[in-house]
């Protein structure tokens, strides 16, 4: 892969990743995450990993569509994105820990820079993942099925929650009606007062 192209894509990836973790507003952070997925997809395609690039793009689109449908279009859950950003009191601790671990990774990679193993026809580690690629793909499919099942199980709305939601919505409507009625009465009282003042 061309080094200049890599550098440009790497800069985009790092900028998007930084935007995702630093941006306090969730909508902007989500946009940065989408940019990260796009930049990583282009990086993979440029590196010749076409299958991984396509899977990354498809997975990012599907996950983004699910999140968009539930959090942005869904009336009930819109408030999840409207939570004011919490004050990051532990930012310096997190920065130090993340910096140290990143430094550790870099040192390990630098020390083993000349020891990249080119691999061979047979895998050295006889594990399910290394032995045959098809097992990894089958496991990935099983993981998707299990993940979707768990998500549906965890995220489902039970009968009592639906009942509570209905009660909550009817209470909101009732309060809204009462508020309007109060405002109308106030407006009528003010208008009557003005009229009586003019007549007097």
Q: Is 163 in the site for other proteins (CB under 8 A)?
A: no
Q: Which stretch binds other proteins (CB under 8 A): 143-151, 176-184, 190-198?
A: 143-151
State the binding string over 41-80 for other proteins (x if CB under 8 A, else -): --xx--xxx-xx--xx--xx-xx--xx--xx-----x-xx
**Cα–Cα distance list, 79 to 25, 82, 88, 145 (Å):** 13, 5, 21, 29
Phi, psi of 83 (to 5 degrees): -70, 125
Residue 16's CB is within 10 A of a number of other CB atoms, namely 19
Give the residue, chosen from 65, 109, 179, 185, that forms a contact with other proteins under the rule CB under 8 A: 109
What distance in Å separates the CA atoms of residue 183 and residue 72, rounded to the nearest whole number? 32
State the binding string over 14-43 for other proteins (x if CB under 8 A, else -): x--xx-xxx---x--xx--x--x---x--x
Cβ–Cβ under 8 Å, residues 130 and 119: no
The answer for residues whose C-beta is within 8 angstroms of residue 41's C-beta and 6 or more apart is: 53, 56, 57, 60
| Residue 173: CB minimum distance to other proteins, A | 18
Q: Is 95 in the site for other proteins (CB under 8 A)?
A: yes
Give the residue, chosen from 75, 111, 126, 152, that forms a contact with other proteins under the rule CB under 8 A: 152
């Amino acid at each position: 892969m061309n080094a200049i192209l890599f550098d440009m894509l790497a800069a985009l990836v790092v900028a998007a990743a930084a935007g995702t973790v630093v941006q306090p507003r969730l909508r902007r952070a989500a946009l940065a995450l989408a940019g990260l997925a796009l930049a990583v997809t282009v990086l993979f395609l440029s590196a010749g990993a076409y299958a991984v690039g396509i899977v990354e793009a498809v997975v990012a689109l599907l996950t983004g569509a699910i999140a968009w449908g539930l959090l942005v279009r869904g009336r009930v859950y819109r408030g999840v994105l409207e939570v004011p950003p919490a004050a990051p009191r532990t930012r310096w601790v997190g920065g130090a820990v993340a910096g140290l671990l990143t430094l550790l990774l870099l040192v390990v990679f630098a020390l083993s820079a000349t020891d990249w193993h080119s691999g061979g026809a047979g895998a050295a580690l006889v594990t399910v993942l290394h032995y045959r690629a098809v097992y990894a793909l089958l496991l990935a499919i099983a993981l998707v099925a299990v993940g979707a099942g768990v998500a549906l199980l965890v995220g489902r709305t039970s009968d009592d929650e639906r009942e509570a939601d209905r009660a909550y919505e009817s209470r909101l409507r009732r309060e809204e009606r009462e508020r309007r009625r109060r405002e109308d009465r106030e407006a009528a009282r003010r208008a009557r007062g003005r009229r009586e003042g003019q007549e007097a």
